[in-house]
């Protein structure tokens, strides 16, 4: 399968229907089916109500994007429409009892639908990090994209995609906390640095004491360093690190309450072994 954004969303060509202005149709709401690739699962009721009030006053200013689906039925053929983009507008329209909504009918293949939804939804400020992570995971699982390719689609680095995906490894209680806005993505990333059996405890403390991200990050490092420095003199610490890392030439020096650690690698193989350890 071709890879990358270009493979998923075809370029517009001059002289084709894609380059001409799209026609807007009014379609019955009952005929529009949900988008199975919608990254957003939770919608803020207050925001929807405000959008519904705006639509009631000014109408739907931007048409929904749909795909036409023709189904064979005993009486002949039935036409339905699958939503590609515009879920909030559709929900708000239903809230005020609209029977029809303006749509643009797009001729897209299955592999195009998720990226189109992502382009519209994933860069929204109110989309929470877990919704982004789940959307990224679907791109990897269902469309065989790499993290680097996803980064090109949504305008982020591979590292940013990787960090967001790691949020899915957190315990359910913490993930619910992210969805509720109890902690930020920065808090969640810091929590990932703690051991599994410590994560929920740290999360609860963050929520209760309203700890800033930097305080949480500081706690990741300080317990480890303080425990080591209390347990070992510089020479003992040097011996312990050498044993753990498997590196012979290690120097540990203590000066003015600061500890300086120098590693010298005897070979490229030794360096590669060290790098493989810190990647885990």
Distance CA 229, CA 221 (A): 12
Chain centre to alpha carbon of residue 106:
26
Please state the φ and ψ torsions of residue 138, each to the nearest 5 degrees: -65, -40
The token pair at 66 is 């749909």
Tell me if residue 270 is catalytic.
no
Angle between helices 213-231 and 196-209 (to 10 degrees): 130
Three-state DSSP state, 225 = helix
| End-to-end Cα separation, the chain, in angstroms | 31
In sequence order, the 6+-apart residues with CB closer than 8 A to the CB of 48 are 88, 91, 92, 95
Complete DSSP assignment for 224-243 = HHHHHHHH--HHHHHHHHHH
Identify the active-site residue in 87, 113, 131, 149: 87
Distance CA 58, CA 47 (A): 16
Active site residues: 87
């Amino acid at each position: 399968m071709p890879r990358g954004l270009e493979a998923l969303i075809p370029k517009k060509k001059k002289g084709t229907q894609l380059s001409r202005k799209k026609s807007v149709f009014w379609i019955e709401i009952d005929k529009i089916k949900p988008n199975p690739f919608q990254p957003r699962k939770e919608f803020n009721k207050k925001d929807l109500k405000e959008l519904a009030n705006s639509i009631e006053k000014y109408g739907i200013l931007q048409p929904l994007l749909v795909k036409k689906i023709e189904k064979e039925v005993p009486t002949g053929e039935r036409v339905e429409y699958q939503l590609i983009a515009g879920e909030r507008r559709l929900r708000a329209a239903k809230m005020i009892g609209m029977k029809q909504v303006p749509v643009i009918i797009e001729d897209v293949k299955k592999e195009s639908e998720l990226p189109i939804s992502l382009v519209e939804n994933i860069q929204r400020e109110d989309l929470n990090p877990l919704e982004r992570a789940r959307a990224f995971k679907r791109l990897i699982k269902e469309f065989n994209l790499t993290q680097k390719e996803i980064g090109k689609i949504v305008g982020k680095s591979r590292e940013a995609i990787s960090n967001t995906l790691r949020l899915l490894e957190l315990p359910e209680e913490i993930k619910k906390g992210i969805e509720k806005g109890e902690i930020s993505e920065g808090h969640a990333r810091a929590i990932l640095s703690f051991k599994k059996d410590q994560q929920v405890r740290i999360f609860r403390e963050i929520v209760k004491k309203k700890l800033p991200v930097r305080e949480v990050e500081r706690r990741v490092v300080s317990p480890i360093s303080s425990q080591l420095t209390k347990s070992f003199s510089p020479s003992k610490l040097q011996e312990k690190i050498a044993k753990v890392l498997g590196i012979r030439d290690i120097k540990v020096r203590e000066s003015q309450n600061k500890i300086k650690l120098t590693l010298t690698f005897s070979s490229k193989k030794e360096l590669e072994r060290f790098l493989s350890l810190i990647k885990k």
